Structures are given as C-alpha cells and as structure tokens.
Amino acid sequence: MKKSVNAMKIIVSGSRGFIGSAVKKELEFRGHHVMDGNDSTGGGGDLWYHFKWYLGSAASDINAQVDSIKVALDALEHSYKIGCKRFIFAGSIMEHEVWKLSWQDGAALRARDGYAAAKYCASVMLKSRAQELGVEFINAVITNVYGPGDKKTRFIAANLAKIKYGEAKTIPLRFSSGTQMYDFIYIDDAARAFADIGEKGFAGRNYSVGSGGAKPLRRFLEELLDEFSAELSGAPGASFGAALSGVELPLEAFSAASLQADTGFAARISFREGLRKTYEAL
C-alpha cells in the first residue's frame, strides 16, 4: 500500500461502477480510507466523489435522468451533513455538446441528449448549492474512458470485441468520417487523475479528465486498425462514412492543461497500450 502524505476519509457514491470502482481502488492504494456512499450514514468524512448515475437505456429516459440529478443533489447535502469539505462531481464532455446544440436554432436533439443535459444541469445546481453550503466543488469532466471492465456496448470495447471474436473478419468495421475532436484515457490513468484532483485540485475548477492528447477521432481509429493489423489480416477492412450531425467541439474543450498544471497529472498508458490491455481482458 502506498501511503498518502495526508490520508483522508473519502466517500465514493457509485463505487461499484466502471470508473467509480477504479477510483476507489486507486484511493485505497494511496492509503485513504474509502467507503461507499451507501455506507456513509455517520462517522464523518473529508471528501466525497459522486459517480452514481443512471446509464445504459436509462440515458434516454428523461425521468431517470431527472432522478439522477436529484440523487446527486442529495449526495451533496449528505456530504455536508457528515462534514465533508470537498465534493467532486463526475461530469461529462457531452455537457459542452448539449449546451452548444441547445442554442442552435432548429437543432434536432436526440433522446440520449437528455443524459448530457442532465449532467450539465446537475453540475450547475451542485456548484450553486455547494457555494451556499461552503463546500468546495470541483467538476471533473470525463472525456472518454476505456479499459478492462467497460461494457462491450461502448465504442472501444465493442469494436475490439468484433476483432477478437471474429465478426470483423467477415463484416467491415464501420465508422463515421472521424473528423470530430476526441480524446481517450485508459481507466487506470483516469483513476489516478480523479485521485490527484481530490488530493491537489483547486476548488471551483472544471478539470478535463483526459490524456491531454486530443485529436480527430479518425487518427485514433487508424491507430486501432494499425495495432490490430495482424488480427485483421484478410478481413474486409474498415469504412469511414459521413460526418456526424450535430456539434463538433474545439480542441480546447478537451484541454487537460489545468489538470496537469494544478496536480502534476500525466497519463502513463498510451492509446495503443491501453487498446492491447483492453483487448486481452475481453
């Protein structure tokens, strides 16, 4: 166990999920005492991480997303009551997208945009309420996290599964044009980023949790195809289709500069290495 300079009592709501469980593990490795949000009925605390959210098919369910906002606000109130001085919310890069899209005249919003809208509403409400309570609030905005343990329906895991289990040998991998900016961060690096934010982040910040190497999605996909060129030998290849409709975010939306400057965080796992680790764990 790596001992942290100042061990804290930390609560993680959503500690059984893909990212929450990895953050819990990293915090424990650093010597912190970590509890699940459901177990924090008393005994105080120093820091609260909130990951709990209704995902999957519920991401398109407006009522489920409203409930997620309420759960987040309740978590903040509870964190205050037990004495937590800091509250870290797991936001989403999609907050940027839905905010821009909502201001475009005639823009067509999709059902799943309810998830992004709910995340944005929650981050604003939480920040406002935290200021009233005197609790330090940080919005840790997740770009795209991947790695072992992720659902096979998600982008990276889904395409790696097609390669590993043979589907890509007969059916071409199909992607959009890939012109939109993207960033991917491996799960272990994401966990370290969240831990660094808790230990060294500045109150009031909106940190982008990413690798710091954002670029057009197509370049990531070309790396994926090259890394698994042996496995794809003899396969029909991949096709790049039309550009996605909607909002394309600028490079600065993915910037991890403030995270790096404030905490010293730097990603350790390259995209290729992370792909290989994820592939082997499938």
Q: Is residue 101 part of a domain?
A: yes
Task: Provide the pLDDT for residue 20.
Answer: 97
Task: Provide the pLDDT for residue 78.
Answer: 95
Task: Provide the pLDDT for residue 208.
Answer: 97
Cα separation, 24 vs 47, whole angstroms: 12
State the residue range of the domain holding 17.
Answer: 1-142
Q: Is residue 213 part of a domain?
A: no
Task: Provide the pLDDT for residue 103.
Answer: 67
User: What CATH number does residue 50 fall under?
Assistant: 3.40.50.720
Q: Is residue 135 part of a domain?
A: yes
Task: Provide the pLDDT for residue 271.
Answer: 98
| Number of independent structural domains in the chain | 1
Q: Is residue 204 part of a domain?
A: no
Cβ-count burial 30-51 (b if 16+ within 10 Å, e if not):
bebebbbbeebeeeebbbbbbb
From residue 92, give the alpha-carbon distance in Å to each of 85, 121, 224.
Answer: 23, 11, 24
Q: Residues in the chain with pLDDT < 70?
A: 1-5, 40-42, 103-104, 107-112, 244-246
Per residue, the 3-state secondary structure of the chain, as one string, reads CCCCCCCCEEEEECCCCHHHHHHHHHHHHCCCEEEEHHHCCCCCCCEEEECCCCCHHHHHCHHHHHHHHHHHHHHHHHHHHCCCCEEEEEEECHHHHHHHHHCCCCCCCCCCHHHHHHHHHHHHHHHHHHHHHCCEEEEEEECCEECCCCCCCCHHHHHHHHHHCCHHHHCCEEECCCCCEECCEEHHHHHHHHHHHHHHCCCCCEEEECCCCCEEHHHHHHHHHHHCCCCCCCCCCEEECCCCCCCCCCHHHHCCHHHHHHHCCCCCCCHHHHHHHHHHHC
In the structure encoding, which two tokens stand for residue 205, read together? 């910040």
β-strand partners of 140: 90, 207
Task: Provide the pLDDT for residue 104.
Answer: 67
In the structure encoding, which two tokens stand for residue 116, read together? 């992004």
Q: Is residue 264 part of a domain?
A: no
Residue found under tokens 């699940």: 36
Q: Is residue 155 part of a domain?
A: no
Task: Provide the pLDDT for residue 97.
Answer: 78
Q: Is residue 195 part of a domain?
A: no
Q: Is residue 41 part of a domain?
A: yes
